Amino acid sequence: MPSPIPADMPALTPHIVCRGAAAAIDFYVRAFGAVEQARLPGPDGRLMHAMVRIGGSPLMLVDEFPEMGCHSPQALSGTPLTLHLYVEDVDAAMARAETAGAKVTLPATDMFWGDRYGRVEDPFGHAWSLATHVRDMSTEEIIAASVQGCTGTP
């Protein structure tokens, strides 16, 4: 009997809708070093399912199918979620994403919680945060640093 969760899959996997999923796959390869795992075109050429792995993590994607309730961020005038990606070098990763066509929405900055962190929007309307963990901190240290950052007190 097969495992209810495949051995090579986590329990939770992002599954995004893209206007132009084939082009999105190409972008994710260039911008984030994605490795294509699967591509299932439908009879009309739109991708009914695709999967890439970025840093070993799966990301499923599909073309827009408005007739099935699948709408891209462009159709919805934005996205309410952000895909978070840890990388070895956030500055290099952001530069690579920008060169591939992403728009930097927050330049990489050292953050109070111990990550160097920045954000980009991909050409398909999806928001990405990229980070490199640079400092281990306790919950108490993070809370103290966040309060200090909000009040400006030492």
CA 10 to chain centre: 16
pTM, two decimal places: 0.91
Note the pLDDT of residue 152: 54
> What are the backbone angles phi and psi of residue 144, rounded to the nearest 5°?
-60, -40
What does the DSSP 8-state code read for residue 131?
A: E
pLDDT of residue 151: 57
In this prediction, residue 92 carries a pLDDT of 98
In this structure, are residues 50 and 25 in contact, taking their beta carbons and an 8 Å threshold? yes
* pLDDT tens by residue, 85-144: 999 999 999 999 999 999 999 999 999 999 999 999 999 999 999 999 999 999 999 999
> What is the per-residue pLDDT across 21-56, written as a single tens digit (0 to 9) for each?
999 999 999 999 999 999 999 999 999 999 999 999
Measure CA of the first residue to CA of the last residue in the chain; give whole Å: 59
Cβ proximity of 59 and 14 under 8 Å: yes
Strand order in the sheet with 57-63: 15-18, 57-63, 47-54, 35-41
User: Domains along the chain?
Assistant: 12-70 (3.30.720.120), 81-154 (3.30.720.110)
pLDDT of the residue at 150: 61
